[in-house]
Amino acid sequence: MHSLEVLEVDASVVTLACDIFPFSQIEELYIWNNNLFICFTGVPALEYFTNLRLLHYSSSQNEIHVESQLNSTIPYLHSLENLYLQDIHRYVQRSVINAEVLFYGLYKLQTLHLKNSGITHFTVNMFKDLRSLHGLLVEKQTIIVLEHGIFNSLEKLEYIYFYDVDFKCNCEMFWIIEWLATNIHVQVFDFSVQTCSTEAITFNFLDYLDTQCPPVLEFTLFMLTFCITLSFILFALLHESIWWNLLYLYYLVRERLNNRISRRHGDKYQYDAFVSYSSYDEEWVVNQLLPNLEQSGPPFITLCLHNRDFELGKDIVDNIMDSIQKSRWTICIVTRNYLRSQWCSMEMKMTTYRLIAESRDCLLLILLEKISLEEISYYHRLARLMNKKTYLDWPLEKKDQQLLWEKLKYTILTPTENYLNEFL
């Protein structure tokens, strides 16, 4: 017995005298239809086969034991090169055998053959110690998960063979297509004929992955591009209707807080009117508006002009909001240049939001040029304002111009908020 190299046993229960163990030279062990392989003392017997190079183990189909020695003994077989496990599916399904740690410590294992093993989830962690594995054979079982990267640690792997295996159709295994196309060291036999099932339908596995599962990188790029495009479209559509509302709301809340502090100190409006105009019309403002409102009097009108009264070094939007809030009125000098100016458009928007928020008339419109209704209708906000408010046309006659200045000055200095509409 001490020189015996091959042992084959066919029995459900096998007990050995491990204290005088006569099988230390066994290199090949075949165990058929077994449920219990122990010493007389009750401890597992497999770990005493220290020279074992091949283990062929199949479990009994007729009965199942409450425990299995495979988990606790296989890792001790440090010389094991070939492992064949058959019909252990019931032990795996009932968690008597923990497949996750079953192959730990088998650093010299070269061939792993699993038949009807019941292992449905093949993970990277499960194969992490199989550094010398050359061949993997799996047959007659179902595979639900074949984890991405499972073969990366198997540096010496040469061939893989799946036979009579039912894969579950799962897009998480899409990586297999790229791996099959790029790996040059591992032969995968007959994988093109493998099938997968989902409910009652069977597909060719590779066809299913190729047609039903988008590549992860391409899908990610698609979703990223889609989100960016959607964001751009939403921004373009909602910029006019939402962005300025949010911006004005921010400045309105801030100004309300500042106004509370100002009222506690008895502060009043700093200016009678803020003048919103295009820089192209500055000559008219300097030569006409300033002399007739601010420099002729009494009474004198205090005006706020952006090129003169804005605070240096301060954000331009902050300057605009501060000037509008610190002025009792806003006078918009409407010309074609004004309508084309983004800053002027913003000033008008801010003023109309203030008009709505404070529920009082604080806007005066002076049309410096003859602009047709068709042109004005392009600017939706101005067209709505002109439909609801009386506006002033700049007259050509000097006497009419003087009358306009008197009306404008009277309106600005009169506390009656809607006086201009009634007066004109």
Together in a domain, 161 and 260: no
In a domain, 204, yes or no: no
In the block, residue with structure tokens 């220290």 = 50
pLDDT of residue 55: 95
pLDDT of residue 65: 65
Together in a domain, 145 and 30: yes
DSSP labels, 253-309: HHHHHHHHHHHHTT---SEEEEEE--GGGHHHIIIIIIIIIISS-SS---EE-HHHH
> 75: which DSSP letter?
G
- Given pLDDT bands bounded at 50, 70 and 90, which one contains residue 239? low
Domain boundary among 251, 267, 283: 267
b/e 193-206 (16+ beta carbons within 10 angstroms → b): ebebeeeeeebebb
Together in a domain, 315 and 410: yes
In a domain, 415, yes or no: yes
Structural domain span for residue 34: 6-172+184-190
Please tell me whether the overall predicted TM-score, pTM, comes out greater than 0.75 for this model.
Answer: no
User: Strand 187-189 vs strand 159-168: parallel, antiparallel, or unpaired?
Assistant: parallel
Together in a domain, 275 and 409: yes
The CATH number of the domain where 48 resides is what? 3.80.10.10
Together in a domain, 289 and 257: no
pLDDT of residue 381: 63
In a domain, 275, yes or no: yes
Peptide bond into 298 cis (omega under 30): yes
- Report the C-alpha gap between 172 and 144 in whole angstroms: 10
- Report the C-alpha gap between 343 and 276 in whole angstroms: 9
Together in a domain, 25 and 163: yes
How many DSSP H helices and E strands does the chain contain? 15, 19
- Report the C-alpha gap between 105 and 264 in whole angstroms: 80
- Report the C-alpha gap between 344 and 338 in whole angstroms: 6
Domain boundary among 267, 300, 335: 267
Mean pLDDT of 203-215: 85
Q: What is the pLDDT of residues 382-415, one digit of tens each?
A: 766 676 666 788 888 888 888 888 888 888 887 6
In a domain, 226, yes or no: yes
In a domain, 198, yes or no: no
In the block, residue with structure tokens 């506390």 = 415
Domain boundary among 232, 267, 302: 267
**What is the torsion angle, in degrees rounded to the nearest 10, for the CA atoms of residue 46, residue 49, residue 55 and residue 58?**
-30
- Given pLDDT bands bounded at 50, 70 and 90, which one contains residue 358? low
Together in a domain, 274 and 405: yes
**Category of 289 on φ-ψ map: left (φ > 0), alpha (ψ -120 to 50) or beta:** alpha
In a domain, 232, yes or no: yes
CB 362 within 8 A of CB 351: yes
Peptide bond into 415 cis (omega under 30): no
Together in a domain, 247 and 275: no
The CATH number of the domain where 277 resides is what? 3.40.50.10140
pLDDT of residue 380: 56
User: Strand 195-198 vs strand 201-204: parallel, antiparallel, or unpaired?
Assistant: antiparallel
Number of domains in the chain: 3
pLDDT of residue 28: 95
Q: What is the pLDDT of residues 272-318, one digit of tens each?
A: 899 999 989 999 999 998 998 888 877 888 999 988 888 888 888 88
> 173: which DSSP letter?
G
Q: What is the pLDDT of residues 73-83, one digit of tens each?
A: 787 888 999 99
